[in-house]
Amino acid sequence: MSAERVIEISSLNKSFGDFQVLTDVNLTVSLGERIVVCGPSGSGKSTLIRCVNGLEQFDSGRIVVDGISLAEPGGVDRVRAEVGMVFQQFNLFPHLTVLENLTLGPMKSRGLSRTDANALAMMYLERVRIPEQAEKRPRELSGGQQQRVAIARSLCMKPKIMLFDEPTSALDPEMISEVLDVMVELAEEGMTMLVVTHEMGFARKVADRMVFMDGGEIVETGTPATVFEAPKSERFRAFLDKILQH
């Protein structure tokens, strides 16, 4: 299979002051591939995916997204046009209605008319199953609904790649599945996804590849079937033991 490489991360290094967050990280993602990144907190997994769309800068190495290097002039903006992102804290715009949250990007950065943007937004709100909340403010919604709005907001920009930074970590347990369901559907439609999460059930169901990080390095990668059955490294085994206990 010679699938198109949409993300190429090579020899990535980053530090916050004296603290080395990422050490020689290499990762290639093909079009349509779903990758789940896991690891203990502070392992650099969030920093890694935040580097992909330029929310974090890195010290050395190279990131190429869909043929665009982040280092080239204007690269970050062009990459962001291809990459959607969903945050742990949703980061919806509290002063706008749900519909306005969705239409802001398409109207201001892609120049859509209000009518077109509204139609696009309603289409995606229906896909995440909350069209009836369109006129509400984000804080009137539950956490699960807010995160689904955030996903719809990203999709409105028609991204080629979606990044998820612990999308269910801030949610009450009963709301996690409604968000994961939407993500599973997205995966089934063939979206290229890079997901940081501790939801191992989700990983098992959709991930083509698991990436385990610890101490700023990629310690192990493999298909869910192989890594869950027989993790090669002791660190991954210990990590899985801890999170699968519950």
Partner 1 sequence: MTRSISPWMLLCCLLLLAGCGSSAGTWGWYVINPSTAQGQSNIRFLIGGFGATILLSLIAAGLSMLIGLLVALPGMSSNKWIRLPSRIYIEFVRAIPLLPMLFWVFYGLPVVMRSFGMPVTIDAFWGAIITLAISDSAFTAEIYRAGIQSIPKGQTEAARTVGLSYTQTMRYVVLPQAIRRILPPLANQFIYIVKMSAFASVIGMQELTRRANELVVTEYRPLEIYTLLILEYLVLVLIISFFVRWLERKMDADESR
Of 37-45, 141-149, 152-160, 194-202, the segment contacting partner 1 by CB under 8 A is: 152-160
Please, which residue, 86 or 218, has the CB nearer to partner 1?
86
CA distance 21 to 171: 26
Q: Which residues contact 3 (CB under 8 A, 6 or more apart)?
A: 30, 31, 32, 33
The 108-127 site mask, x for binding partner 1 (CB under 8 A), equals: xxx-----------------
Q: Which is nearer to partner 1, 46 or 221 (CB)?
A: 46
> Is residue 55 a contact point for partner 1 (CB under 8 A)?
yes
Q: Which is nearer to partner 1, 59 or 77 (CB)?
A: 77
C-alpha pair distances (Å), 172 with each of 9, 200, 226: 33, 17, 30
For residue 101, the minimal CB distance to partner 1 (Å) is 9
Does position 200 interact with partner 1 (CB under 8 A)? The reply is no
Residue 222 in contact with partner 1, rule: CB under 8 A: no
The one-letter code for the residue type at 5 is R
How far is Cα 4 from Cα 205, in angstroms, rounded to an integer?
Answer: 23
Q: Which residues lie below 8 Å from residue 222, measured CB to CB, with a gap of 6+?
A: 209, 210, 232
154 is a site residue for partner 1 (CB under 8 A): yes
Angle made by CA atoms 53, 54, 56, in degrees to the nearest 5: 120
Tokens standing for residue 183: 């993500």
Site string for partner 1, 156-195 (x = CB under 8 A): xx--------------------------------------
Residue 232 neighbours by CB under 8 Å, 6+ apart: 220, 222
Spatial distance between the Cα atoms of 118 and 156, rounded to a whole number of angstroms? 10
Of 39, 44, 84, 222, the one binding partner 1 by CB under 8 A: 84
Is position 153 an interface residue for partner 1 (rule: CB under 8 A)? yes
Interface residues toward partner 1, by CB under 8 A: 53, 55, 77, 80-81, 83-85, 87, 89, 91-95, 104-105, 108-110, 150, 153-154, 156-157
